Amino acid sequence: MGVVAALVRGAFLVNGVYAESAREYGITTQQGVLMCVLMPQPRGMSELGAMLGLAKSSLTGLVDRTERNGLVRREPDPQDMRAVRVALTPEGGELVEDFYAETCRRIDKLPVGFSGAERDALAGLLGRIVLANDAPVIFMEPVEGSASEH
């Protein structure tokens, strides 16, 4: 299999795992992505739009739906009182921690049968692609000792 087919099919496989986890947690894939982006800290709407590649109207709808579900809230931006930031609610924080851990566990199982050296090589090569293309951090590095350890 060539690099293009492998990357596209690999992305499809990871997206499928992500979507399955989201469904089981009663959220959409987009809500899962939004909440994972918010795990480290609240973010402004323009920052979220840039990270997620969404137009303002699409992002507003996503935040509105997620807010209605009680998972995120809008709050004033302390740097600019005209702007708002989006933050996880306590309920959203709990849900995304579980969702994130379960999704990491499932994705970590994809390279089944790989040795430690093969896993490290795969991570190194994919990491180089991500860094060379300035991919936004929409999914944090799993915490050491979590499912990603081999």
Split into its structural domains, the chain has a count of: 1
Tens digit of each residue's pLDDT, the chain (150 residues): 898 999 999 999 999 999 999 999 999 999 999 999 999 999 999 889 988 888 989 999 999 999 999 999 999 888 888 888 999 999 999 999 999 999 999 999 999 999 999 999 999 999 899 889 887 777 777 655 444 443
146 found inside a domain: no
SS (H, E, C) the chain: CCHHHHHHHHHHHHHHHHHHHHHHCCCCHHHHHHHHHHCCCCEEHHHHHHHHCCCHHHHHHHHHHHHHCCCEEEEEECCEEEEEEEEECHHHHHHHHHHHHHHHHHHHCCCCCCCHHHHHHHHHHHHHHHHHCCCCCCCCCCCCCCCCCC
64 found inside a domain: yes
142 found inside a domain: no
12 found inside a domain: yes
37 found inside a domain: yes
150 found inside a domain: no
81 found inside a domain: yes
* Structural domain containing residue 17: 3-132
**pTM score, two decimals?**
0.83
CATH of the domain at 62: 1.10.10.10
